[in-house]
Amino acid sequence: MSLLSVRDLTVKFAMRDETVTALNGISFDVAKGERLGIVGESGAGKSITGFSLMNLISRPGFVDRGEILFDGEDVVKMSGKRLRQLRGDKMAMIFQDPMVTLNPVLTIGQQMVETLLAHRKLSREEARQIAIVKLREVYIPSPEERLDQYPHELSGGMRQRIIIAIALLLDPQLIIADEPTTALDVTIQADIMELLLELCQSNKVGLILITHDLGVVSQMTERTLVMYAGRIIEAGRTREIINDPQHPYTQGLINALPQQTLPGRKLRQIPGNMPSLTNIPPGCPFNPRCEYATDLCRTRLPEIAQYGEVQVACHEVQRLQAEGERQEQNA
């Protein structure tokens, strides 16, 4: 049985004059110890997905329908007390900006010990010892001294390591990392990603990595979901999706990267913008930007369905696959 199973999750936000659907019937599973990437541009709903898994959606947002089964138990229906047991203990979250995630008026040690004492019957000294072990695991030099330091005394990369150490404190089964390295420099990003990968593999921890960076997803995850305007439009093994994307949006996203075009040539851009959630076009949400759109695409929403190795939500995918094969034969 999978560790996490999301079924038909729909999240809405009640605005002043209308209700906006931020997530529209998304379903996916994460097996124990599996690493899943969620990619998309801003406004696609990837962060909302991450937040709703921990039941962190607060008003005006609400889960309209669907279920999030963690170890067979529905997170959406959990009581406050049960949620507190789950959060941090079974599931942990790493946020984007290490500069604002830590409490600036508490020392690193206080924040780590607090987390441990909230969940386990331990003495302060025992908790401190666990904190030191975890800091050592994320390669923090001289962890004993760090415990008495405040967040502002540490660099961004160091803080993100400490946040990872806090996420790992209670040996969770699943880590949700929402753009964990976007605020960091490339060399630091590479370090943090390597560390996260190593820890997930050695501790058999599941990882949901939310990012806009296809390169990061490609190196970190086994499976990938591509989101667009609150829906999953393509899902499958990361290798397949990167090497042979089926949905025109995924193809566009990969082709738009500068490394996919010869230097100085015109980049293959996707025209237009992601629709605003208040104004999603009828039919396939991607149809106004899609070069293959037909009348069917403009009127009927494509359901996500299995095509070969991957799941795709596109009416034209079979035609596109056939055309692709024909081109390959000709070449």
Partner 1 sequence: MKDMNVQTPLVEIKGLEKRFDLDQGFLETLRFRDGRFTRETRAVHAVNSVTLDVNRGEALCVVGESGCGKSTVARLVAGLLTPTNGEIHYDGTRIDDKSRAEMQPLRKKIQMIFQNPYASLNPRMTIRQALEEPVRHHYPSYSAAEVRDKVTEVMMSVGVDPSWAKRYPHEFSGGQRQRIAIARALTVNPEFIIADEPISALDVSIQAQVLNLMLEAKESRGLTYLFITHDLSVVEHFGTRVAVLYLGSVCEVADSATLFSNPKHPYTRALLSAVPQLKDDRPNHIRLKGEIPTPINLPQGCPFQSRCAFANSRCRSEKPNAIHQPDGSLVACHAVEEDRLDQDVIGV
Least distance (Å) between residue 136 CB and partner 1 = 17
What track of x and - describes contact with partner 1 for positions 41 through 60 (by CB under 8 A)? xx------------------
- CB count in 10 Å sphere of residue 295: 10
Q: Is 27 in the site for partner 1 (CB under 8 A)?
A: no
DSSP SS3 for 165: helix
Q: Is 295 in the site for partner 1 (CB under 8 A)?
A: no
Nearest to 5 by CA among 22, 24, 26: 26
Residue 1 or 186: the one with the smaller Cβ distance to partner 1 is 186
Among 48, 53, 214, 233, the residue binding partner 1 under the rule CB under 8 A is: 214
Question: How many separate helices (H) and strands (E) can be counted in the chain?
Answer: 13, 12
Least distance (Å) between residue 121 CB and partner 1 = 37
Window 175-204: residues binding partner 1 (CB under 8 A) = 185-191, 193-194
Window 118-157: residues binding partner 1 (CB under 8 A) = 155, 157
Q: Is 317 in the site for partner 1 (CB under 8 A)?
A: no
Q: Is 76 in the site for partner 1 (CB under 8 A)?
A: no
Give the separation between CA 113 and CA 319, rounded to whole angstroms.
58
Nearest to 3 by CA among 205, 194, 275, 241: 205
- Show the tokens assigned to 216: 């990061």
Residue 3 or 214: the one with the smaller Cβ distance to partner 1 is 214
Q: To which H or E segment does residue 228 belong? A: strand 223-228
Considering only the stretches 61-69, 92-100, 128-136, 253-261, report the one whose residues sit in contact with partner 1 under the rule CB under 8 A: 253-261
Among 56, 117, 242, 301, the residue binding partner 1 under the rule CB under 8 A is: 242
Q: Is 207 in the site for partner 1 (CB under 8 A)?
A: no
Strand ranges (DSSP E) for 45-163? 61-70, 73-74, 91-94
Among 15, 100, 133, 267, the residue binding partner 1 under the rule CB under 8 A is: 267
Q: Is 280 in the site for partner 1 (CB under 8 A)?
A: no
- Show the tokens assigned to 148: 């008495």
Q: Is 268 in the site for partner 1 (CB under 8 A)?
A: yes
Least distance (Å) between residue 49 CB and partner 1 = 17
For 22, 48, 127, 153, 276, the CA distances from 42, given in Å and listed in that order, are: 12, 11, 39, 32, 10
Instruction: Print the SS3 string covering 270-299.
Output: CCCCCCCHHHCCCCCCCHHHCCCCCHHHHH
- Footprint of partner 1 (CB under 8 A): 41-42, 155, 157-158, 185-191, 193-194, 212-216, 218-219, 242-243, 252-254, 256-261, 263-264, 266-271, 273-274
